[in-house]
């Protein structure tokens, strides 16, 4: 009877300790700021996501993690790798580091979420802002080597816009974070836009030579880059030339615009999404 009681107590203790044993803790530090991200589970099922932020050892933020796109059932953005999903970075070079948390919503072609936490001295805690980077995700880089960091990504609005996802071209997009919000600053990097446009044009030219039946996605991304560079008139002429040559095609048939109809649809799409301003 005594042995049975001990066994029951051991099993009960194991049941209580199991979730804690499975918990993953990731920590990042920058200056006086330390951020700790904890969660349990493995892909595709995570739970108990929590973020704690401390300054000089004093905890100023301690909350469960939630996001607009996935509520409280988000996953860590760096799952399946040894990389951490939490970072401490002074994004806008103010001397007060931000905490950046990478999240993933799960699902096909979706979605990378970045949450940025900024210290608010008026409330002595951290305020959250978030951005959905969709399928392409993002890289945080100091492009100008000036202490200001950028989120380098691609415009997910182009996914499925004119063809299926695999054949969709997503043009370059660069965002910054300052004063609690994300701002599109792609136009400030013309050399990177030109490089991106060259890649899309090279892909389209190869498709045209091969009479590839699904070329509208990549040429749409090229046109977006050209519009950002202020070359809308030249881009329009090229698009019409390619339509007349029979190179603007999609295997989806009548369910999507092709040829000159595609050009008209693309120009309308670009205006609606703020290209060419």
- pLDDT 10s digits, 5-19: 333 333 344 444 444
CA dist., res. 65 & res. 43, Å (int): 17
Q: Are 39 and 48 in contact (CB under 8 A)?
A: yes
Model pLDDT, residue 19: 46
Model pLDDT, residue 71: 79
Model pLDDT, residue 96: 93
- Tokens 């749409």 locate to 220
- Give the phi and the psi of residue 269 in degrees, each rounded to 5: -65, -45
CA dist., res. 153 & res. 143, Å (int): 13
Count of CB atoms situated within 10 Å of the CB of 61: 18
Contacts of 247-254 with C-beta under 8 Å, sequence gap 24+, read 247/204, 247/207, 247/208, 247/215, 248/215, 248/216, 248/219, 249/212, 249/213, 249/214, 249/215, 249/216, 250/162, 250/163, 250/213, 250/214, 250/215, 250/216, 251/163, 251/213, 251/214, 252/163, 252/164
> Per-residue pLDDT averaged across 13-37, rounded?
76
Mean pLDDT of the chain: 88
Domain edges within the chain: 23-184, 192-272
Confidence of residue 72 (pLDDT cuts 50, 70, 90): confident
Q: Are 266 and 150 in contact (CB under 8 A)?
A: no
Q: Looking at the predicted structure, is the pLDDT value of residue 253 above 60?
A: no
Q: Looking at the predicted structure, is the pLDDT value of residue 46 above 60?
A: yes
């Amino acid at each position: 009877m005594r042995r049975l009681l001990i066994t029951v107590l051991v099993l009960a203790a194991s049941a209580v300790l199991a979730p804690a044993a499975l918990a993953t803790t990731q920590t990042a530090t920058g200056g006086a700021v330390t951020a700790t991200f904890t969660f349990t589970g493995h892909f595709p099922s995570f739970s108990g996501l929590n973020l704690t932020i401390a300054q000089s050892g004093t905890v100023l933020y301690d909350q469960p993690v939630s996001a607009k796109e996935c509520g409280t059932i988000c996953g860590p953005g760096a799952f399946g790798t040894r990389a951490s999903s939490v970072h401490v970075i002074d994004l806008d070079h103010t001397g007060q580091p931000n905490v950046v948390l990478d999240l993933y919503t799960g699902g096909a072609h979706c979605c990378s979420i970045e949450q940025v936490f900024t210290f608010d001295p008026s409330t002595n805690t951290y305020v959250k802002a978030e951005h959905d980077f969709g399928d392409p995700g993002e890289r945080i880089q100091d492009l100008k080597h000036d202490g200001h960091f950028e989120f380098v990504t691609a415009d997910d609005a182009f996914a499925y816009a004119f063809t299926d996802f695999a054949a969709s071209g997503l043009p370059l997009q660069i965002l910054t974070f300052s004063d609690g919000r994300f701002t599109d600053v792609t136009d400030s990097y013309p050399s990177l836009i030109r490089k991106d446009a060259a890649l899309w044009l090279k892909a389209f030219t190869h498709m045209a030579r091969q009479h590839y039946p699904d070329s509208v996605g990549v040429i749409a991304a090229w046109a977006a880059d050209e519009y950002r560079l202020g070359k809308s008139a030249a881009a329009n002429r090229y698009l019409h030339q390619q339509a007349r040559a029979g190179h603007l095609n999609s295997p989806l048939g009548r369910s999507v615009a092709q040829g000159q109809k595609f050009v008209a649809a693309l120009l309308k799409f670009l205006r609606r999404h703020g290209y060419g301003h």
